[in-house]
């Protein structure tokens, strides 16, 4: 089998496995969530019937209209269930938090623009902000590759004589453990303490959903009534999200580097990760520049003259 044919087969297998993976996830989510959705729907219908039976003076169409408006208002982040009048969704800190989730593509969806002008501005703002955010993250991670990836691996190879496969694998495992502790476990503990209604599992779930830019929006920090230091809390979460996204991107780059060393990218016919400065770390001497010419003048006897041409 030729290289191109093998590459096509590998891609087709990957696409097939991806489709199967999506189907398995759909089946599992449907099996887990559909019974609970039906239970909640039945409870809501029961409450609705009890309200109608106890208060016969209520017009059914008016009640339906009220429920529809409440649902739509809750979709835009306006809730009347609790006393949330003190917490605005569009004060400076909240608007800054919304802008951050917009350009980082996390998009919790708990707050969305109400006006047409806000929707139009969101399009223009994200059109520029999303690629600019990716550029900033890429630039930051690129500066961290040398001190946090290449140099530790090169040091372990020189110090312990490890094979590149071993050094790269150990580095990636340690890096992954450090990222899990710093950006998942510790923040989950902090969120579970600050957010009274969150368990540790729910806080860890929020960290994972956020840093993977999934952003389901079922858990959003700083939305409970009478939240203390809410503006400072929102800004702190923004900083955490940016640093966490940068850490996740750094893990992906490190994994790409590990795949190069282990030969996985070559096996799947993927482009390699060419890190700037890798040659500086791995090589101890530079090759002479072939473009440089000797500036020493030639010997006069070695110069070609017209008389030296054979006739």
Inside any domain, residue 241: yes
- Token digits for 247? 């850490």
Inside any domain, residue 73: no
Inside any domain, residue 254: yes
Indicate which CATH number applies to the domain containing 241: 1.10.287.70
Q: Give the pLDDT confidence of 154-168 residue by residue, as tens digits.
A: 998 898 888 888 999
* Res 52 pLDDT > 80: no
275 DSSP assignment: -
CB atoms < 10 A from the CB of 195, how many? 20
pLDDT number for residue 205 = 96
In this structure, the chain runs to a length of 311
pLDDT number for residue 87 = 64
What is the mean pLDDT of the segment spanning 119-141? 91
Task: Report d(CA 267, CA 161) in Å as an integer.
Answer: 26
Tell me if residue 304 falls in helix, strand or coil: coil
Dihedral (CA of 85, 90, 94, 98) sign: positive
> Within a 13 Å sphere around the CA of 258, how many CA atoms are in the beta-carbon half?
18
pLDDT number for residue 86 = 55
Which is higher by pLDDT, 40 or 208? 208
pLDDT number for residue 258 = 86
* Band of pLDDT at residue 183, cut at 50, 70 and 90: very high
Task: Report d(CA 190, CA 156) in Å as an integer.
Answer: 35
Mean pLDDT score of the chain, rounded to an integer? 79
Q: How many domains does the chain have?
A: 1
* Res 184 pLDDT > 90: yes
pLDDT number for residue 274 = 60
Inside any domain, residue 294: no
Inside any domain, residue 265: yes
Inside any domain, residue 248: yes
pLDDT number for residue 77 = 57
What is the mean pLDDT of the segment spanning 207-220? 91
CB atoms < 10 A from the CB of 4, how many? 9
pLDDT number for residue 36 = 77
Range of the domain at 112: 87-271
Please state, for a pLDDT cut of 70, what percent of the chain lies above it. 77
Inside any domain, residue 156: yes
pLDDT number for residue 279 = 47
Inside any domain, residue 145: yes
What is the mean pLDDT of the segment spanning 100-111? 88
* Band of pLDDT at residue 39, cut at 50, 70 and 90: confident
Q: Which stretch of 156-160, 182-186, 224-228, 246-250 has the lowest confidence by average pLDDT? A: 224-228
Task: Report d(CA 6, CA 148) in Å as an integer.
Answer: 36
Spatial CA neighbour of 219 closest among 235, 233, 232, 208:
208
Spatial CA neighbour of 101 closest among 78, 84, 121, 122:
122
Task: Supply the DSSP string of 99-153, one letter for each residue.
Answer: HHHHHTT----SS---SHHHHHHHHHHHHHHHHHHHHHHHHHHHHHHIIIIIHHH
Q: Give the pLDDT confidence of 260-292 residue by residue, as tens digits.
A: 888 887 777 777 776 445 545 545 434 444 444
């Amino acid at each position: 089998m030729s290289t191109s044919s093998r590459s096509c087969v590998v891609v087709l297998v990957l696409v097939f496995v991806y489709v199967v993976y999506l189907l398995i996830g759909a089946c599992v989510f449907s099996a887990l969530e559909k019974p609970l959705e039906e239970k909640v729907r039945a409870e809501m219908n029961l409450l609705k019937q009890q309200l109608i039976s106890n208060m016969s003076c209520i017009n059914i169409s008016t009640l339906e209209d009220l429920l529809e408006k409440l649902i739509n208002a809750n979709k835009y982040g306006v809730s009347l269930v609790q006393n949330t009048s003190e917490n605005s969704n569009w004060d400076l800190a909240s608007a800054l938090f919304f802008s951050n989730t917009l350009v980082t593509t996390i998009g919790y969806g708990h707050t969305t623009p109400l006006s047409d002008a806000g929707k139009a501005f969101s399009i223009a703002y994200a059109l520029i902000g999303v690629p600019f955010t990716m550029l900033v993250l890429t630039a930051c991670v690129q500066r961290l590759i040398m001190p946090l990836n290449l140099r530790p691996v090169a040091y372990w190879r020189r110090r312990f004589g490890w094979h590149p496969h071993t050094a790269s694998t150990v580095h990636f495992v340690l890096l992954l453990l450090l990222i899990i502790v710093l950006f998942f476990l510790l923040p989950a503990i902090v969120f579970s303490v600050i957010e009274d209604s969150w368990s540790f599992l729910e806080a860890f779930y929020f960290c994972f959903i956020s840093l993977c830019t999934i952003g389901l929006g079922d858990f959003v920090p700083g939305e409970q009534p009478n939240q203390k230091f809410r503006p400072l809390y929102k800004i702190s979460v923004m900083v955490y999200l940016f640093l966490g996204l940068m850490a996740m991107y750094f893990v992906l780059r490190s994994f790409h580097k590990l795949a190069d060393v282990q030969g996985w990218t070559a096996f799947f016919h993927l482009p390699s990760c060419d890190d700037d400065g890798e040659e500086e770390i791995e090589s101890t001497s530079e090759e002479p520049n072939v473009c440089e010419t000797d500036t020493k003048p030639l010997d006069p006897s070695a110069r070609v003259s017209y008389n030296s041409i054979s006739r």
